[in-house]
Amino acid sequence: MQIYKVGGAVRDRLLGKPVTDIDWVVVGATAEEMLAKGFRPVGSDFPVFLHPKSGEEYALARTERKSGRGYGGFTFHASPEVTLEEDLIRRDLTINAMAEDEQGVLTDPYHGQQDLENRLLRHVSPAFAEDPLRVLRVARFAARYAGLGFRVAPDTLELMRQLSKSGELEALTPERSWKEISRALMEDHPQVFIQVLRDCGALKVLLPEVEALFGVPQPAAHHPEIDSGVHTLSVLEQAALHKQPLSVRWACLLHDLGKGLTPQSEWPQHIAHEHKGLKLIKQVNERFKAPRDCQELALLVGQYHTHGHRALELKPSTLAELLQSFDVYRRPQRFEEFIAACEMDARGRLGLEERAYPQADYLRGAATAARTVAVQPLLEQGFKGPELGEALKRERLKALKAYKEQYSQ
């Protein structure tokens, strides 16, 4: 029995990056031998075991063969005869197909170290094209390592194009797709993830609503970058630079989908794109079964982001409706995330990345002013039921009028 550290742990150590998760491969062992040593079995598809003390995952060396469509369409074979090289060749990228033994000796049969040095994301073998999930994974690695100068190797990008055309991407489950998309959006350069998907033709399969934004012009006065798709990538880039949470990044990706529906005769104007985009945002949310907080924020940002930009011009009554739409009295954090998404939208414009966004503090102040209206005095005045709700609305509106007057002075 020989035990090797494999995959990401080896790659990240060679890159000088912190190693968080460690995967181990066991060569020359049977499941019975693992159980005899106290390892606990997990996973039904192939033999994976948890170490009795560390809890880390140890997998028996295995081969795999394509047997159906999609990510799950594989049969696995694990036995003591499977070699380390056979186990490594089934992996996606050469930089993930290296192993280290317990003395730290590197096994690198597919030249992963060389590709690390050349900053290349290259497939290990032609079998890469059998697994559609790898399109998303490679795009995610491109987003993770873009800051180090990594790029997708041309021959790997070609295989990704073939996969995108094959119909295999449609076989991915919403859960698997969302797992990769959400992880990619949280990388340092999520815009690279979207760009790589576009380069290989996967974006028009997975997110045709985002693909449709490219080539659609916007008014140069507000959008010096002109192109709606380029703007979306820039907004995503700003969200990552400002360390925004996943819900904000998802909303940033989807906020302008309505612009893809504008008739060409109306370009570069996009009248009512906020409202038109809601059905598209809803369909993307449902396609990937995005978590509820991501779904809700994306819809609210899509509908109200221009309100955010025009915050200083809004009438107190419109401001009151906006706060009510966000349920700001019970869910203040969601409104804070809306403000963040609006600010990223304002900064995601060519040459305007550092521009001040006074709307953010103005909206926060408005929310505070409305929230400070106390219910108790109204109860003491005898208001109850629907009447209490109306009285509360009136008092909040008064508070917002006072806030706006004070701000204008």
Q: Where are the beta strands (DSSP E) in 104-198?
A: 106-107, 120-121, 151-152
Does the annotation flag 227 for ligand binding? no
Q: Is 21 among the annotated ligand-binding positions?
A: yes
The b-or-e profile of 128-153 (16+ CB within 10 A means b, else e) is: bbbbbbbbbbbbbbbbbbbeeebbbb
Kindly state the helix (H) or strand (E) to which residue 40 belongs, with its residue range: strand 40-42
Is 137 annotated in a binding site? The answer is: yes
What lies within 8 Å, CB to CB, of 390 at 6+ separation is none
Q: Is 131 annotated in some ligand binding site?
A: no
Strands (E) across 70-133 are located at 74-78, 99-100, 106-107, 120-121
Check the annotation: does 8 bind a ligand: yes
3-state class (DSSP) for residue 165? helix
Question: Is 364 annotated as contributing to ligand binding?
Answer: no
Q: Is 93 helix (H, G, I), strand (E, B) or coil?
A: strand
- 16 conformational bin, left if phi > 0, alpha if psi -120 to 50, beta if neither: left
Q: Is 292 annotated as a binding residue?
A: no
Residue 235, both tokens? 């907004």
Backbone angles phi, psi at 49, to 5 degrees: -130, 150
Binding site members: 8, 11, 21, 23, 91, 137, 140
Q: Enumerate the known binding-site residues for Mg(2+).
A: 21, 23
Binding-site residues for CTP, please? 8, 11, 91, 137, 140
Indicate the annotated binding residues for ATP.
8, 11, 91, 137, 140
